Amino acid sequence: MHWLANPARFVRLADRILPFVLGATIVLFALGLYFALVASPADYQQGDSVRIMYIHVPSAYMASATYLVLAVAGFVTLVWRHPLAAVAGKAAAPLGLAFTGLALATGSLWGKPTWGTWWVWDARLTSVLVLFFLYLGYMALWGAFEDRDKASRAASILALVGVVNLPIIKFSVDWWNTLHQPASLLRAGGPTLDPSMLRPLLIMIAAFTVYFVTVWIWRIKAELAEIKLSNLSRRGGAG
Amino acid sequence: MTGFLDMGGYGLFVWPAYALVFAILFGVGLASWRRERQKARLLAEFERRRHGKGER
């Protein structure tokens, strides 16, 4: 029973954080959009199509970061059987799926004018597509079992196995020949972007991050309430 | 203004990308928020009914 105290403490903490992250999401997106679409220059080679970067890179970064959340949650679920971890992973998955889909779609819309093609089967694009299917599989496993513990264990194992895909995504642009450009942000020697483009990008990455935290909290709270409801109705039915 | 919408000839790629991202993020956010509200309401109702029964 001791774990019931934990989700309650989580909800109290979450309720205190929520107004700040929600406010930050709105402010940072407004600022980010202004800098991304108005107050930043067109690229000397790519023209205005470079503005897709300000939503493509944050989507792709969140796609991987959210998967890391799933993997850590899966690890904690399997090792310590912590129920809040299972809930946290389950609640994050649809967000990760959305980010991955958006990274692929915006990448496609950027690739057409820049590379002349919507899609290539190269290492970067293919490994991100694999990530998309990992999210789908994870969510399908959660839905496939009546028993909550079984579902969370199966999904956690998939999340942990799939984590090998993350370094493949990150280093695919260095290991293989690809149309995709190499890292310009998280690289040895610092970012290669001009400050005028680095600013909107960093603001957007921050906006995507606080957005994730906001919606993640809502989803965890909904999940916890649902568990409590089903426990209550089961007890109510028995008594 | 037409220059802004045209995006130097890339408007057909830039605007759909932004529209898609914000439609999806807003949709997922709204759906998650509404689900949370609904579950919280159900839980409060359930507990009220349970306590009401206890008092009678």
Please give the C-alpha separations between residue A178 and each of A126, A192, B2, B28, B35, in angstroms, as whole numbers: 11, 19, 36, 32, 42
Which residues neighbour A140 within 8 Å (Cβ) at sequence distance 6 or greater? Answer: none
Model confidence at A4, pLDDT cuts 50, 70, 90, reads: very low
The mean pLDDT value for B16-22 works out to 97
Interface confidence, given as ipTM, is 0.89
- Res A1: pLDDT: 39
> Which has more pLDDT, A5 or A22?
A22
**Paired residues of A47 in beta bridges:** A43
State CA A24 to chain mean position distance. Answer: 18
Give the pLDDT confidence score for residue B54 in this predicted structure: 56
pLDDT of B56 above 70: no
Asked if residue A161 lies in contact with residue A169, where contact means CB atoms within 8 angstroms, the answer is no
Specify the higher pLDDT residue, A180 or A235. A180
Helix axes A83-115, A123-144, angle to 10 degrees: 150
Cβ neighbors of A110 (< 8 A, separation 6 or more) are A49, A52, A53, A56, B13, B17
**pLDDT at residue B53 is higher than 70:** no
Mutate to test the interface with B, among A11, A112, A219, A233 (most CBs of B within 10 A): A219
Chain B, nearest residue to A207 by Cα: B25
Q: Do A109 and B17 touch (CB under 8 A)?
A: yes
For residue A47, the SS3 value is strand
Instruction: Look at residue B4 in the predicted model and tell me its pLDDT.
Output: 83
| A47 burial via Cβ count (<10 Å: 0-12, 13-18, 19+) | middle
